[in-house]
Structure 1
């Protein structure tokens, strides 16, 4: 197993060469993500309909995008060293709350918006914390341009999730679910469209 070499930008230790061992904090964070994935599966199992399964798929794709953001940062910084653990534990707490809010992610039939808004806020929190670590670790490199490309679709996605939480409450019952699903689909599309394009171009 290779030894990891690091450099430091203030309180953040940056990896300059990758090794094959995962930090204990990374493993613990992965377990929190596993809990969130399990929460989505458990919620889908209690609402096995076409809409219910599609909602679960959208939530799964959003969580997967957050996990991809986490792995990107984990490959750049040492999560267990310097000031990174503070940010990582904060992100863990946000993912945990995200998992707890999953059963109400698409809103109660009577138009409550608290849990859908919590989902939007948690997703924003996860992504902002990871982007903040990436920003610090990218100091003095050309990666900051990539950071801006990553932030734009996240902002759009969060705005759409907020709309999906609030707007359906003001619509007739027959339009609530289709509108909510459409806005979630647009949010996921905003994230994955840019992500897939950047992966295809190698940037």
Structure 2
């Protein structure tokens, strides 16, 4: 009877709700709306090379704790009470993590690290217990994952106790270990390592979960534009910047969802090793997509505050870098799930590189307009190229 109960915590693959994203998963994501907002504000407030490195590290950490949870709920059923309890606890810890972001490299370093480690290790140990009698391969996998997270957690906590550069170094080591884990199969002496065939995932569930996270990030970009626009006196220039930020965000939405999201779900569902493809397409390729949207939101803030500025290479990097990171991430994502790199995205990256040569000599808002124009060109090119083709089952 105990074994049956534990099996009951798992999703039933192939059932009508086996790939469904539940309302609790959507509720869980609300915490990360706050996280993304905190990250974009932290980057804008400390826009220096060191500040960018710190914000980047925290972005990687936030993404990692979210994507690991998405993988776990691919197997565990959030409609089961024990899994619900686990997710609610993770939400509370995620709220603590998010609230600590502005002072993570100050007085709240230990709070940030403690919340992160509790989320990662606690969720992994819970899953290990949940799958123990239901799936021997997943049980071994989560034993390996727990081992890696416990070891990296030592560096997270040590960093929280240290200060300044020592904290940054300790956390970079911890993050490097965690990001190397999936690519190395979470190899542990005595336990071996995972293989691609061990990770039988639902492509539809992973695609929808990641799509919802992208929506959260795009929503933050919309909120930045709207909030800043409402606080400034109306003028033709502020209207232009507002429209630029909005159109750029819509172009990002179009590029990701029109030919990428559902095709990825279809490809992974029918791939012989879905776990390997999902790891590349979702676990790793979405990182530059996420970073690009956050940097785009920061760039919109800069365009509102200093629209006539010229020559500031750091600020220009945010304007062009947001679009560039987003296109690079989509290039990786679509290449992994379609088997070929989209020429339109490659051309867009070339246009942004060329734009970088003239951007220092034009006003910031004009650079933003041109970067948005590049996104529109890429979207139009891709639509023209693919709209008449059957892309998986996604063209309607």
TM-score category, normalised to shorter length: 0.7 to 0.9
2:12 match: secondary structure: strand
What is the CA–CA distance in structure 2 between the aligned matches of 1:28 and 1:15, rounded to whole Å?
Answer: 19
By percentage of residues, which structure has more helix? 2
Measured in 2, the distance between the counterparts of 1:155 and 1:56 equals 23
For 1:38 and 1:80, the matched residues in 2 are separated by 29
Q: Please say if residues 9 and 137 of structure 1, whose CA atoms lie closer than 8 Å, have aligned partners that are also in contact.
A: no
Task: Tell me the distance in 1 between the aligned counterparts of 2:94 and 2:85.
Answer: 14
1:2-21 aligned within 5 A? 9-10=5-6, 13-17=9-13, 19-21=18-20
C-alpha RMSD of the superposition: 2.2
Unaligned runs of 5+ in 1: 1-6, 169-175
**Superposition deviation, residue 133 in structure 1:** 3.3
| 2:72 counterpart SS class | helix
Shift of 1:12: 5.4
Normalising to structure 2: TM-score of the pair?
A: 0.43
| 2:38 paired with 1:39 | yes
- In the alignment, structure 2 segments of 5+ residues that lack a partner are 187-193, 199-396
Q: SS state of the match for residue 198, structure 1?
A: coil
**CA deviation map 1:100-159 (0-9, x unaligned):** 01111112xxxx4xx111111101121133213312331222212111211122112221
By relative contact order (CA 8 Å, sep 6+), the higher-ranking structure is 1
Matches within 5 A, 1:173-184: 176=164, 178-184=165-171
- Residue deviations 1:146-188 (CA, integer Å, cap 9, x gap): 11211122112221122212232xxxxxxx3x32221111010
Other-structure match for 2:254 = none
1:191 aligns with 2:178: yes
Residue equivalent to 2:74: 75
Q: Partner residue of 2:23?
A: 24
Higher strand share: 1
Separation in 1 of the partners of 2:183 and 2:83?
Answer: 28
Preserved CA contact (<8 Å) 1:12 1:137 = no
Equivalent runs, 1:1-203 vs 2, <5 Å: 9-10=5-6, 13-17=9-13, 19-107=18-106, 112=107, 115-140=108-133, 141-142=135-136, 143-168=138-163, 176=164, 178-198=165-185, 201-202=195-196, 203=198
- Does the aligned pair in 2 maintain the 1:106–1:180 contact within 8 Å? yes
| 2:156–2:171 CA contact under 8 A, matched in 1 | yes
Asked whether the equivalents of residues 101 and 119 of structure 1 are also in contact (C-alpha less than 8 Å), the reply is yes
Distance 1:150 1:10 in 2: 20
Q: Which has the larger radius of gyration?
A: 2
Distance 1:8 1:52 in 2: 50
- In structure 2, the CA distance between the partners of 1:11 and 1:124, relative to structure 1 (3 Å rule), is farther
- Show CA shifts across 1:2-35 (max 9, x none): xxxxx95349521121544310000111221232
Q: Compute the TM-score of the two structures, normalised by the length of structure 1.
A: 0.81
Secondary structure, counterpart of 1:15 in structure 2: coil
Which structure 1 residue ranges, 4+ long, deviate > 6 Å from structure 2?
Answer: none
The 2-side partners of 1:102 and 1:11 are apart by 37
Partner of 1:173: none
CA distance in 2 between counterparts of 1:116 and 1:185 reads 14
CA–CA distance in structure 1, aligned partners of residues 70 and 160 of structure 2? 28
| Equivalent-residue separation in structure 2 for 1:60 and 1:96 (angstroms) | 15
Change (3 A) 1:51 1:124: same
